[in-house]
Structure 1
Amino acid sequence: MSEDKKQIFILSGQSNMAGRGGVIYDSHHHKKHWDGVVPPECHPHPSILRLNAHLHWEQARDPLHADIDHKKTCGVGPGMAFANTVLERVGGTMGLVPCAVGGTAIKEWARGEHLYESMIKRVKFAVEGGVGEVKALLWYQGESDCQECDVEVYKEKMEKLIYDVREDLSLPLLPFIQVALASGDKKYIEKIREAQLSIKLPNVVCVDAKGLTLNHDNLHLCTEAQVQLGKTLADAYLCNFCSSLESQ
């Protein structure tokens, strides 16, 4: 791959991928706001770009999903810590494609639905003209499916999503790194986690977020946890899929 070709990473799923690290509820004004704290691991870098909502490339910085998950208050997610860690190891130019939207269930990411089609459109634009190469899709979703009517079909729908994305992007072995839930309805979370951890498709790996520190809402990862998750996702990518390291 030429040095100027972007290494494209898709960030998708729901709120914990979109990022809620540092999001605080202001009881006086009855609204949420981001505290603005950016850890060193998430600092902007000229070689880390993001595709914004208007399909323009710009320097990436948190909150990465501010104009994508625009109906919610976004904060720190795993994307910048992931990108900085990968950049440090392999160099080049990172192209992040944020697609996550909070509160979304797996059925809303099915082929033909708006979220799915928007994601595919954004990724195709990112590689148009051969200027980028999709390296992996990072997926953190499932909290909205922690209910009786969804848990039994989650694995089937997740596997279908992987097949469809690979087919529509003409990348039959696209690396897919998913996150096993850290939070959700206690009655059903283990069923969703079991489904996530049991997927055995080629080039699909799962990292576990269980035990990472949550915000006061007991649903979203705090800033420090998002940094940790980003590094874990980077390690999963580098260890399982990064051919650039083989020649070093």
Structure 2
Amino acid sequence: METSLIADQNPQKMQIFILAGQSNMAGRGGVGNHPKHWDGVVPPECRPDTSILRLNAHLRWETAREPLHADIDTKKTCGVGPGMPFANAVRKRASGMLGLVPCAVGGTGIKEWARGKHLYENMIKRAKESAKGNNSEIKALLWYQGESDTRTKHEAEAYRENMEKLIHNVRSDLDLPSLAIIQVALASGEGRYT
């Protein structure tokens, strides 16, 4: 169900959360042994709720459901990710509408999320579009990324500085100097630097 008039659904401000990073945020749960197909299993904590919306690839609001990133991370099969469990947990503590803005793309390094790069600019565009009007508020950026930056020692050592730049740039470009950043950085043994 698509909608463009959130204000008509609830007079309270919609709380918006940006979902960005790489495959773990995009969601690969249920894809494992069948890389071209998602098994379609939706755990209870990931079930849709009509008060939780997602901004689709066409910049329109619709009821959020797994896989959240299916039309965003289009080069790989998406499945269950952390966005819906997060939103459902917030839903238990907050009233009004929640909005999720999927932006994650699997296999991407933090440098691909630098200001001026396609992924960053698309995230900012989507975030600004989600907050149009006076009935919405961007509450946080959920960032789940890091594994792609463990391939070399140089990348691993540069991660902190790159992450600090990302945080500064997002807050500046969205004009939200106190925007909450919820970060999970995944370092795997597979990409151990050489």
TM-score greater than 0.5 by the shorter chain = yes
Letter in 2 for 1:170: D
Q: Which digits, 9 at most, give the CA deviation of each residue in 1:154-211, with x for residues without a partner?
A: 10000000000000000011000001316353634xxxxxxxxxxxxxxxxxxxxxxx
Shift in Å at residue 71 of structure 1? 1.0
Letter in 2 for 1:93: M
- Structure 1's consecutive aligned runs of 4 or more residues displaced over 3 angstroms after TM superposition are none
Shift in Å at residue 92 of structure 1? 1.2
Contact in 1 for aligned 2:19/2:25 (Cα 8 Å): yes
**2:177, 2:163 → 1: CA distance?**
16
Output the aligned Cα RMSD.
1.4
Contact in 2 for aligned 1:24/1:35 (Cα 8 Å): no
Shift in Å at residue 25 of structure 1? 3.3
Q: Which residue of 1 aligns with 2:107?
A: 103
Which is richer in helix?
1
Give the share of equivalent positions with the same residue, in percent: 70
Q: Which runs of 5+ in 1 are unaligned?
A: 189-248
Q: 1:14 aligns with which of 22, 27, 32?
A: 22
Q: Which residue of 2 aligns with 1:176?
A: 181
Letter in 1 for 2:26: A
Q: 1:153 aligns with which of 158, 161, 167?
A: 158
Letter in 2 for 1:168: D
Shift in Å at residue 3 of structure 1? 4.3
**1:74, 1:166 → 2: CA distance?**
28
**1:170, 1:186 → 2: CA distance?**
35
State TM-score, norm by structure 1.
0.71
Shift in Å at residue 153 of structure 1? 0.7
Shift in Å at residue 129 of structure 1? 1.6
Letter in 1 for 2:72: I
Letter in 2 for 1:12: A
Letter in 2 for 1:147: R
Q: Which residue of 1 aligns with 2:6?
A: none
Q: Which runs of 5+ in 2 are unaligned?
A: 1-9
Are 2:129 and 1:125 aligned? yes
Find the residue that maps to 2:132 and give its secondary structure: helix
**2:148, 2:187 → 1: CA distance?**
13
Contact in 2 for aligned 1:3/1:93 (Cα 8 Å): no
